[in-house]
Chains A and B, each alone.
Chain A
């Protein structure tokens, strides 16, 4: 137990140290941009990992929730002239509410059927964003004012980096609480969880809402950071990208979600020199990882060290 706890706090300290030291090695705006993008993706992945990795429920429509946060904020600040932070909260509440309403019917499904339902839900939201062009600007996207008090890129770096540390901490808190154990129990055996008193439906709905809110908040902040939003953010490919980050980093591992997000955000940038072959090599790396490290990066490495102990 103590060892476990130290691994938890140790992990957070290492993460904080990396975030603190990283700016010394970043020497242009583009590199900062990538770092901030990693933070954003990592936060969404931490939320998604609670649903997919711990709760055992797949979602192929999480990009749509990022999109709802982004467009919610964009529309409320630009068309209603609301305060950006209030807009972010309202967008998150709306996304959470929507998740709550659709969770019950959707999470009754299992396996491929759940994947199909979440996929369909994501596509519907994406279509609505694309076609409601009076509200959303359609495929052209829309311009959004930033946060007035955030004037510098480095400020964003610290803000989102701090939010990432908070997300990791909160996610670990949640997992190591009765709620987190109930959630993992739902993944392990639903019927066994029920007979010891876990209302499995309630926990599935709860974690769907939580992961939706994580995604929505990132969508809002992302739009304030980049001052621009296009429908791609809610699209199918973004949803898949997020799931791949979680699976690649390691399901049911909070740090795995962070590392998965980091590697899969950096990799396409590194591979640009391959031009047309970029996607080919990217796919190949994913395939090989899944064949040789089926549990994902972080759990496989953790297992390796555990065996070394004995």
Chain B
């Protein structure tokens, strides 16, 4: 049974088909990469799956439930989370608070108990802080816990986004270019984090330009070009596909 099923998905922006009749499935417990040249529609596809955009036509099935047109927070409640290509950090908060927002759905959110600062809220926050510290530890940022995010380095913020997404306890995690703009050492750290995430049994969907990383860690690769599926398969199959080589190098 597939975890995510995309059928005949299309979206148009003023006549331009950014995603064009795309169909594919994602199996649970795998690392699934989506690659393609710039402008192929990878980020648009992420925005469609996670509910940031509503498709022009087509359906998205998640866990056998039709979720087309669902809002991102409704999908989060069903166990889907993501990170962003261009950082979306809460710069008005500390690192640990960013991660604690990620745990939002798993906390008591009663208005009056919050307003009057009841012990249940304080107790819940104490517990939440501990689990979030573990997550910061998991991505290697424990030392930054109480640092204001606007004074953290770029590479650390990339990992902070992953920790925040993990705090929502996702079943499927979509990572949009987690290694973009990182130096090789930072890139390797991200690499390790992604593998550890997958080991936890979380299905990972990865958009990435770092081909070395993609080929090394992916169980399955989907290649997009001009919003359409060029091919899909294992790293080996994709690497040797003449269409893929043509799309990347021209020809």
* Residues of the B chain whose Cβ atoms lie less than 8 Å from the Cβ of A283: none
* Residues of the B chain whose Cβ atoms lie less than 8 Å from the Cβ of A194: 51-52, 71-73, 76
- Residue from the list A188, A191, A195, A200 in contact with B92, Cβ < 8 A: A188
Would B72 and A195 count as touching, CB distance under 8 A?
yes
Nearest Cβ on chain B to A252's Cβ, whole angstroms: 7
Given A181-B97, A184-B92; A173-B117 close (CB under 8 Å): yes
- Within 47-81 of A, Cβ neighbours of B (below 8 Å) are at none
Given A178-B121, A178-B125, A191-B52; A196-B93 close (CB under 8 Å): no
Given A170-B116, A176-B125; A188-B89 close (CB under 8 Å): yes
Would A177 and B90 count as touching, CB distance under 8 A?
no
Given A184-B93, A187-B92; A195-B114 close (CB under 8 Å): no
Measured in the bound complex, the distance between the Cα atoms of B102 and A199 in whole Å is 12
- Residue from the list A182, A187, A191 in contact with B104, Cβ < 8 A: A182
Chain A window 229-257, contacts with chain B (Cβ cutoff 8 Å), 1 for yes, 0 for no: 00000000000000000000000100000
* Residues of the B chain whose Cβ atoms lie less than 8 Å from the Cβ of A187: 90, 92
Nearest-neighbor residue (CB-CB) of B124 within chain A: A178
Measured in the bound complex, the distance between the Cα atoms of B117 and A162 in whole Å is 18
* Residues of the A chain whose Cβ atoms lie less than 8 Å from the Cβ of B88: 189, 191-192
Measured in the bound complex, the distance between the Cα atoms of B77 and A199 in whole Å is 10
**Is B154 among interface residues, defined by CB-CB distance under 8 A?**
no
Nearest Cβ on chain B to A53's Cβ, whole angstroms: 10
- Residue from the list B51, B93, B114, B117 in contact with A185, Cβ < 8 A: B93
* Residues of the A chain whose Cβ atoms lie less than 8 Å from the Cβ of B72: 191, 194-195
Measured in the bound complex, the distance between the Cα atoms of B117 and A189 in whole Å is 26
- Within 89-108 of B, Cβ neighbours of A (below 8 Å) are at 89-93, 97, 100-102, 104-105, 107-108
Chain A window 148-189, contacts with chain B (Cβ cutoff 8 Å), 1 for yes, 0 for no: 000000000000000000000110111011111110110111
Would A196 and B164 count as touching, CB distance under 8 A?
yes
* Residues of the A chain whose Cβ atoms lie less than 8 Å from the Cβ of B105: 196-197
- Within 110-153 of B, Cβ neighbours of A (below 8 Å) are at 111, 114-117, 121, 124-125, 128-129, 146
Would A196 and B104 count as touching, CB distance under 8 A?
yes
Measured in the bound complex, the distance between the Cα atoms of B51 and A189 in whole Å is 16
* Residues of the A chain whose Cβ atoms lie less than 8 Å from the Cβ of B77: 197
* Residues of the A chain whose Cβ atoms lie less than 8 Å from the Cβ of B59: none
Nearest-neighbor residue (CB-CB) of B79 within chain A: A197
* Residues of the B chain whose Cβ atoms lie less than 8 Å from the Cβ of A19: none
Would A197 and B97 count as touching, CB distance under 8 A?
no
- Residue from the list B107, B115, B116, B117 in contact with A178, Cβ < 8 A: B107
Given A178-B108, A179-B114; A188-B91 close (CB under 8 Å): yes
Measured in the bound complex, the distance between the Cα atoms of B98 and A187 in whole Å is 12
Would B114 and A173 count as touching, CB distance under 8 A?
yes
Would A197 and B76 count as touching, CB distance under 8 A?
yes
Nearest Cβ on chain B to A200's Cβ, whole angstroms: 7
Given A192-B90, A194-B73, A199-B73; A181-B101 close (CB under 8 Å): yes
Given A185-B90, A192-B90, A196-B102; A173-B76 close (CB under 8 Å): no
Nearest Cβ on chain A to B58's Cβ, whole angstroms: 21
Nearest Cβ on chain A to B55's Cβ, whole angstroms: 17
Would A196 and B92 count as touching, CB distance under 8 A?
no
Measured in the bound complex, the distance between the Cα atoms of B77 and A204 in whole Å is 19
- Residue from the list A172, A173, A176, A196 in contact with B101, Cβ < 8 A: A196
Would A178 and B82 count as touching, CB distance under 8 A?
no
Nearest Cβ on chain A to B199's Cβ, whole angstroms: 22
- Residue from the list A170, A188, A192 in contact with B84, Cβ < 8 A: A192
**Is A125 among interface residues, defined by CB-CB distance under 8 A?**
no
- Residue from the list A173, A191, A195 in contact with B116, Cβ < 8 A: A173
Nearest Cβ on chain A to B135's Cβ, whole angstroms: 12
* Residues of the B chain whose Cβ atoms lie less than 8 Å from the Cβ of A184: 90, 92-93, 97, 101
* Residues of the A chain whose Cβ atoms lie less than 8 Å from the Cβ of B104: 178, 181-182, 185, 196-198
Measured in the bound complex, the distance between the Cα atoms of B86 and A191 in whole Å is 12
**Is A1 among interface residues, defined by CB-CB distance under 8 A?**
yes
Known: A178-B100, A178-B128, A189-B90. 20 other contacts (CB 8 A): A177-B114, A178-B114, A181-B93, A182-B101, A182-B104, A184-B93, A188-B92, A191-B52, A191-B84, A192-B84, A192-B89, A192-B90, A192-B161, A192-B164, A194-B52, A194-B72, A194-B76, A195-B81, A198-B73, A198-B104
> Would you list 21 pairs from A and B whose C-beta atoms are within 8 A, ordered by A residue?
A170-B115, A173-B121, A177-B121, A177-B125, A179-B111, A181-B93, A181-B101, A182-B109, A184-B101, A188-B90, A188-B92, A189-B90, A191-B52, A192-B88, A194-B76, A195-B72, A195-B73, A195-B75, A196-B101, A197-B77, A198-B73
- Chain A residues in the interface with B (C-beta under 8 A): 1, 169-170, 172-174, 176-182, 184-185, 187-189, 191-200, 206, 252
